[in-house]
Structure 1
Amino acid sequence: MPIYESDEHEFLNAKAKKIENNVYVKGLLFLTDKRIIFEKKGLRSVFRASPAVMDLNLFLYNVENANFAVPAFRLFTKQVLSIEYYDDSKKLARVDFAVKKSKMWVDQITRLATISKKDVSTKKEREALENRKHEIDMAKAKAPRANIGMAVFGNEKNKNPYENIRENMAEDNNENLPDTAFRCPHCGYPVTEEMTYCPNCGYKLRQK
């Protein structure tokens, strides 16, 4: 009996024979909502015994196709269940089993494999979105804060950034600004004789 995961549920199990190079290997075949498992039957003799061994552990999202064949003479002959799947090297492989009610196995494998593939695809899309969001958040965190909200358009990159400020200052009659005839030569902000640096742009007003 295989060990299942906590959220894994068994749907089918039956005695089966795995067909390898026209040799029949006896065992038990299991179908869950995640995997197809074939457990090779253990051996027992007078002098020696060996436990059952998991011979196949196939995840359903790797299953490409499942079909069955009914022999011409059904008496004493089991139907053949064929499963095509992608192996670890991403190559298409096939495994055959002699098992009863193979059509029922094909129907259940096809249904559960479709669900499994959809779940895996949804999970990958979710992970891709989360990774993209993480990359954007990291880029925002690394970006210089001084550049946030600033943009340069067309050929205005050489334009004096304080030009509009100087023009607006000349027309500004705000009573909160100091009443002085002096203005910063760099940005036009009102300054006094005692100031060493412009409080608006930091321009050095007095040279020592």
Structure 2
Amino acid sequence: MKTNLTLDLEKTLYAYWEEQGATAVEEVTMPDDQGIVDTLVMQGGTPRTWRCFELKVTKSDFHSTAKLSFIGHYNYFVLPLKLYQQVQAEIPQGIGVMTYQPFAKAALAAATVPITTPGQLTISRPPRYQALQVSEAELLDRFMASLNREVQKAKQVDKGLAHFSDNELLKELKRRSDHYQIYDPESNLYDRVLGDIEATAVASLQEEVDALSAELAALRAKA
């Protein structure tokens, strides 16, 4: 499960490269033993430019034994500024760094234009160019497959809950009830769903009661 900070980094990274006219997709599996690229960005042109990004939000995450898939022309870590200051001496030569800083709440409140990202990214260390470590044909195939996966996810969301079976919904509801918060029922999905069901049932019963009362009043008036 991704942390909120990781999601903020992803959202800001997507927006940054979209502004550059590039296309980004997350979690792209590489062939052989090349691992998974956290975010892969393709910039059009002749030739294309490929950029790989590894997102890390904690020291333990940075020191993880998971393979770093730096297979693009330009490769970067994306780090909160504070983490970068702690680990910058450990970053290999040639690897770039984009540092993330969240916008202050006061600045967001005072903004006169819509703010579409939770923070901003700065290139704190430029990357060095390298030859692709995966053939471009295979890289493009995997990039397109990952884009298609995201399209399918979006379609599922668009279809809403009707896309899922009752068993799937019940399984997810039980999973989210593992950490039931007794003193804060409003934060529990189970309670909210049950509350909605009860409210709907009560409303339906009230409609029936009102209809029966109207019929009874009409019959009494005729009598």
The answer, yes or no, to whether TM exceeds 0.5 is: no
Structure with the higher fraction of residues in strand conformation: 1
Looking at both structures, which has the greater relative contact order when contacts are Cα pairs under 8 Å and sequence separation is at least 6?
2
Per the normalisation by structure 2, the TM-score is: 0.28
Which structure has the larger Rg over C-alpha atoms?
1
Structure with the higher fraction of residues in helix conformation: 2
